[in-house]
Amino acid sequence: MLYRENGQFKTSYRADQAVFPIAQDRVAIAVLLVLAAVVVPLAAPEYLFRAILIPFLILSLAALGLNILVGYCGQISLGTGAFMAVGAYVAYNFQARIDGMPLIASLLLGGLGATVVGVLFGIPSLRIKGLYLAVATLAAQFFVDWAALRLKWVTNDSPSGSVGVAQLQLLGMPIESPVAKYLFCLGFVLVFALLAKNLVRGAVGREWMAIRDMDVAAAVIGIRPVYAKLSAFAVSSFIVGVAGALWGFIHLGTWEPAAFNIDRSFQLLFMVIIGGLGSIMGAFFGAAFIVVLPIVLDSLPYWFGIPIDTALASHLTYMIFGALIVFFLIVEPHGLARLWSIGKEKLRLWPFPH
């Protein structure tokens, strides 16, 4: 009843091609933005920022980047953690070696570094597909893990191999408090989400999707696979690299190579699959599911005052989490984003389904 588009006539191409063509969606997004940018910073406790919101935002950015590659272009990647690491270490090197380097510049340069590495490891995708490509990107993971551990200059000769940044500033304002960090990440996520949404709606995105659906047919109708695949690798690893730099700089502050190990790659791949392949919204759903759910499951016994052994709680978390993943994949293999759009379809007809 509330969610109905009757009477909303599009009189121009511009209106028809809007990101949110339905007025109710626009209102909902505006409310969400006000909530995220104004209400949450005023009301939320510190724990929520540091432990949930900031990791959620950064990982959804990374999942967004991966979704462009896996969901839109159909090139499966197990090297996401590596691209995040490249972003983080390149940004770190710029920040540490150049005095007075602006924060945003080093984060974006981190993204550029990840782009170069991403394209380099994307080259095999021109010849190999599917599982074999996954194994090739796995090489990126092991290579970067190795480089971060062994190449001294990567970690600026840190004896323990652990690096850190401190006193981050944006135009003279310190990014120290959890609220500032949260807003900083939120800004990045919003800009990149909008960019990604417009990219996948445009010509480039259509090329990616054509390659995903059938690469031979796409090549026949004049889409260059080299260009399409490598541009997907480039855009994806740029976003993932920026997310990695944010993860190191903003969330962890000090990190060791293990922060971007193979587990991180799998975690992001699960986010994309559970959230929904080929959906911007899905990246956010997936990140929320993977970041928030284990913490909630872990804290449940305390909330209800049930004394439970931490090891048991942690094992139970793994089991319930695994069971939920299996359940979701059986019930809705297209991910949470698909559930969301089914809900919206139903809501359109409600309360009079024909």
- Tell me how many residues contact other proteins (CB under 8 A): 32
Residue 44 CA to residue 180 CA, distance in Å, equals 13
The H-or-E segment that residue 130 falls in is helix 130-150
Q: Please identify which residue in 310, 330, 353, 354 interacts with other proteins, judged by CB under 8 A.
A: 310
41 touching other proteins, by CB under 8 A: no
153 binds other proteins (CB under 8 A): no
Q: How far is CA 244 from CA 55, 92, 288, in A?
A: 11, 11, 17
The helix (H) or strand (E) run that includes residue 255 is strand 254-255
Q: What is the C-alpha R_g of the chain?
A: 21
Binding test (CB under 8 A) with other proteins, winner from 90, 200, 259, 288:
259
- State the minimum distance, in angstroms, from the CB of residue 41 to other proteins: 17
337 counts as binding other proteins under rule CB under 8 A:
no
Report, in Å, the least distance between residue 160 CB and other proteins.
4
Answer for which of 100, 159, 172, 351 binds other proteins (CB under 8 A) is: 159
Contacts of 170 (CB under 8 A, 6+ apart): 103, 104, 184
The region of 96-104, 228-236, 305-313, 320-328 touching other proteins under the rule CB under 8 A is: 305-313
Query: Residues near 208 by Cβ (< 8 Å), separated by ≥ 6?
Result: 68, 72, 73, 74, 200, 228, 231, 232
One of 181, 212, 229, 251 touching other proteins (CB under 8 A): 251
Give the shortest CB-165-to-other proteins separation in angstroms.
9
Q: Is 258 in the site for other proteins (CB under 8 A)?
A: yes
Bridge partner residues of 174 (DSSP): 169
Judged by CB under 8 A, which of 130, 202, 253, 333 binds other proteins? 253
Considering the complex, what minimum distance in angstroms separates the CB of residue 291 from other proteins?
Answer: 10
**Among 271, 290, 292, 291, which Cα is nearest to 335's?**
271
Q: Per CB under 8 A, which region of 14-22, 77-85, 297-305, 341-349 contacts other proteins?
A: 297-305
Determine, following the binding rule CB under 8 A, whether residue 209 of this chain makes contact with other proteins. Answer: no
For residues 164 and 258, give the distance between their C-alpha atoms in angstroms, rounded to a whole number. 14
Residue closer to other proteins, measured from CB, 152 or 201: 152
DSSP alpha helix (H) spans, 202-309: 203-213, 215-220, 225-246, 262-275, 280-303
CA distance 189 to 259: 21
Q: How far apart are CA 32 and CA 54, in angstroms?
A: 17
User: Any contact of residue 25 with other proteins (CB under 8 A)?
Assistant: no
Q: Which is nearer to other proteins, 43 or 216 (CB)?
A: 43
Site for other proteins, rule CB under 8 A: 45-47, 50-51, 55, 149, 159-162, 164, 166, 176, 251-256, 258-259, 295, 298-299, 302, 309-311, 313-315
